[in-house]
Structure 1
Amino acid sequence: MTNTANADTEIRPFSVTISDAALDDLRNRLNNTRFADTVPGAGWERGVPTGYLRELTAYWAEKFDWPAVEARLGTYPQFTTTIDGQNVHFLHIRSPHADATPLLLLHGWPGTVLDFNDMIGPLTDPAAHGAGDAPAFHLVIPSLPGHGFSGPVTETGWNDGRIAHAMAELMRRLGYDGYGVHGGDHGAFIAPRIGRDDAEHVIGLHVNSLVTFPTGDPADMAALTDADKDRLARMKKFQDDGSAYMQLAGSRPNTLAQLLADSPVAQLAWIVEKYQEWTDSAKALPEDAIDRDKILATVTIYWLTDTAHSVANYYYERFHDVAMFAPQAKGTTPTGIAVFSAGDYAIRPFAEKTHNVVHWSEFYDGGHFPALEVPQLLTGDIREFFQTLPR
């Protein structure tokens, strides 16, 4: 690992500019896709239906407005810096309130910095968004190393611990001595790690989509509520019938990466399947839960930045990290956990064995992607949690 004391610590302004050639190449690939035949009558239970994928691909090629995405990103101050030899891209939006709390927001996969777009205004300037008494935040929103505009990782070893170290270094480099962290999906693994490794600076951490596992204690199992048992059963179903993507990425990332690097429609199918399966189960199609253009913005970013292989290798690093699921002491950082019914399997008695849980919320709208599905609920819960913490 590179010694950050001797590394390039410059923070450089950044703007997203994609060449016409790259966009023309994308459109040509979309228009020349060879779609797979499917078994008549097959639905989402076998993966993305070809008819749906064909229609979504045509929309992507003909109607999706990438310049509008660039313009939206351009409204935020963006920067890059080098940490541990890796380029790190981030948004840094300071609140107009001088006493605002610094907050690190961590996306997951599939996800980008744009996941938090609808939360930026309400979190940085609550008074301007109808919540005058709510706490305000200075926001740091990085593209995780190997994801999106941070670009591909340039060496092996970028696991959760190394990313947590890089994120803590980013906050130190920006001059934040005390800060909070929120994360979902990948971020729900990384945020608690930051809370452990940088406990003297992290005032609190808030997560959704936290993964919890049975403790092995019969008393814990006997105390489970019906809702807890339902979550445990859904987690078992996910492991049995929904985790193939993770097993493939975690065991053969290079093979998967070649498929995704050569075909934007493969990238689209790979990602949109997750939006279908992990969003609010009451929604029939992915775009019923998340705006179609937001889904395509995410897919386009992963395509244009050529980071599919880095994402796949991130799962490999996690699967082969001996420290990942090793027994560890209970964390001391105050922790808030938001559980969204369709996309979370977190069980409080299990969570309390390893985290200092001081705040627990359960919601019946939204799924695995609350920042995109129900941003107002996630924003409110982040506010409520941090408002209770000493600063």
Structure 2
Amino acid sequence: MSEPVRPFTLAIPQADLDDLQRRLIHARWPEHETGKGWDQGVPVARLRALVDHWRQDYDWRRCEAMLNDFGQFKTVIDGLDIHFLHIRSPHEGAMPLLLTHGWPGSVIEFHKVIGPLSDPVTHGGDAADAFHLIVPSLPGYGFSGKPEGMGWGVERIARAWAELMRRLGYDRYVAQGGEWGSAVTVSMGVQAPPGLIGVHLNMLSIMPPDLGEEIDAEEQAALAASKHFADIESAYARLQATRPQTIGYALADSPVGQAAWIYEKLRGWSDCDGEPETIFTRDEMLDTIMLYWLNNSGASSARLYWESMGSFRPMAIDLPLGYSQFPREILAPPRKWAERVFSNIIHWNNVDKGGHFAAFEQPGLFEEEVRTCFRPLRG
């Protein structure tokens, strides 16, 4: 007997919001950084400004209402409660599209594209490009359940997502993802469950087995990006992949610490010229941070790194596949590397602007990439 899909209405107890206020008011701050700008991490003045907004002006109930308006649901898959948004398009013949977020993201990173993708006519587009949208929260993230044991890596999540689509009655659909969402979507492409007809990615971790001595400029740039990530940006990943429980205590106890952990990445990985507030509003950044704070998911989200860091690797996919390279993405693989493992690339494009949080940063460009990739698969 299949588990039921049940509606979910978000209503955070006021006591939890009051507790957050107390913690923000009584936060203990470190001394001023000794380096320049963001060299040593988030500058004290920048984080104080964000936290002041959080404490004085931010309205969680606005975000809560937005999520409830989208349509939220839960269902138990493989023993775990899975939360997801489900937005049915008003247009006949809409294509079902599964969207998977990453870290430090959530279903909120897609909130700007939900309307245009599901109802393009209302947003100046063509009904032929409409999608039904299914946007799940990764296990241990957002309002999904937290695994109580090991084994919930991206391969298992991919199987769970296929079951979710089957349970919702979609027998022909496409999938999209970036960051951890990319790893999950790649795993779905490898598994090729019945009904999945194509995938689109906006991040790829892929290296050829042997570059040899002759490499071109694009390959040199890709290697440089990979080295920069390994040398400068990957400390968080190594910590979460090796000691998720240890960092979890700090993130569970301090909302300021949780905010800093995410704020730094929103700045460092987005195409914002070093100023995240030029791409995201403070409310948008705090909405994302709140989904980690309210659910106490610092440790549970980090455990995905423990489970699956090795899953960011080349894996052969024969399904139709599209890729969009946003210029400030942390990795930049050349197409020729991808062609060694993906036999059916139907879309490959270098986008003009955007970074790691593509749908969140540049919703219009993201929407066009997804539409263009999947148009040949409609019918």
With structure 2 as the length reference, what TM-score do the two structures score?
0.95
* 236, 246, 252: which one aligns with 1:245: 236
Which of these residues, 305, 329, 334, is aligned with residue 347 of structure 1? 334
Structure 1 residues 327, 51: closer, same or farther in 2, change over 3 A?
Answer: closer
Matching residue of 2:20? 26
Cα distance in 2 for residues equivalent to 1:390 and 1:55: 47
CA distance in 2, matches of 1:134, 1:223: 42
Cα displacement (A) at 1:223: 5.5
Write the deviation string for residues 25-65 of structure 1: whole angstroms up to 9, x where unpaired: 00110111111113435321111111111121111111111
Task: Kindly state the Cα deviation for residue 348 of structure 1 after the two structures are TM-superposed.
Answer: 1.2
| Alignment pair present for 1:159 and 2:153 | yes
- Partner residue in 2 for 1:3: none
Aligned equivalents of 1:264 and 1:27: distance in 2? 10
In 1, Cα distance between equivalents of 2:336 and 2:46: 41
Residues 212 and 327 of structure 1, relative CA distance in 2, 3 Å threshold: closer
Cα deviation, 1:133-188, whole Å, max 9, x if unaligned, reads 54111110111111101132222111010111111110011011111001011111
- The SS at the match of 1:206 is strand
Q: How far apart, in 1, do the equivalents of 2:122 and 2:356 lie?
A: 28
Structure 2 residue aligned with 1:222: 214
Corresponding residue for 2:84? Answer: 90
Aligned counterparts, 1:257-272, within 5 A: 257-272=248-263
Structure 2 contact 94–131 (Cα < 8 Å) conserved = yes
| Counterparts of 2:82 and 2:48, CA distance in 1 | 35
Query: Is the aligned partner of 1:377 residue 2:365?
Result: yes
Counterpart contact for 2:314–2:341, Cα < 8 Å: no
SS of alignment partner, residue 122 of structure 2 = helix
2:318 matches 1:332 = yes
Write out per-residue CA displacement over residues 238-276 of structure 1, whole angstroms, 9 at most, x where no aligned residue.
111110000000001110111100101110000011011
Unpaired runs of 5+ residues, structure 2, are none
Q: What CA distance in whole angstroms lies between the structure 2 residues aligned with 1:159 and 1:9?
A: 22
> Are positions 1:256 and 2:256 aligned together?
no
| Paired amino acid for 1:22 | D
Q: C-alpha separation between the residues in 1 aligned to 2:220 and 2:291?
A: 38
Query: What is the SS of the residue equivalent to 1:129?
Result: coil
TM-score by length of 1: 0.92
Whether 1:207 aligns to 2:198 is: no
Structure 2 equivalent of residue 132 of structure 1: 126
Q: State whether residues 192 and 319 of structure 2, in contact with CA within 8 Å, keep that contact through their aligned partners in structure 1.
A: no
Q: Determine if contact 2:24/2:51 at 8 Å carries over to the other structure.
A: yes
How far apart are the structure 1 equivalents of 2:39 and 2:341? Answer: 35
Residue 203 of structure 1: how far off its partner (Å): 1.0
Partner amino acid, structure 2, of 1:302: Y
Letter in 1 for 2:339: E
1:386 and 2:377 aligned: no
Q: Relative to structure 2, which stretch is displaced further, 30-39 or 297-306?
A: 30-39
1:12 to 6, 25, 30: 6
- After superposition, give the CA deviation of every residue in 1:52-100 in whole Å (9 maximum; x if it has no partner): 1112111111111111101111211110000011110001111112211
Equivalence for 2:297? 307
Cα offset for 1:304? 0.3
Per-residue deviation, residues 212-244 of structure 1 (Å, max 9, x unmatched)? 2133143xx7353x2442232022111111100
Instruction: Give, as a single letter, the amino acid of the residue that structure 2 aligns with 1:85.
Output: G
Q: Percent identity over the alignment?
A: 44
Map of 2:44 onto structure 1: 50
Corresponding residue SS for 2:129: coil
Where does structure 1 lack aligned partners over 5 or more consecutive residues? 1-5
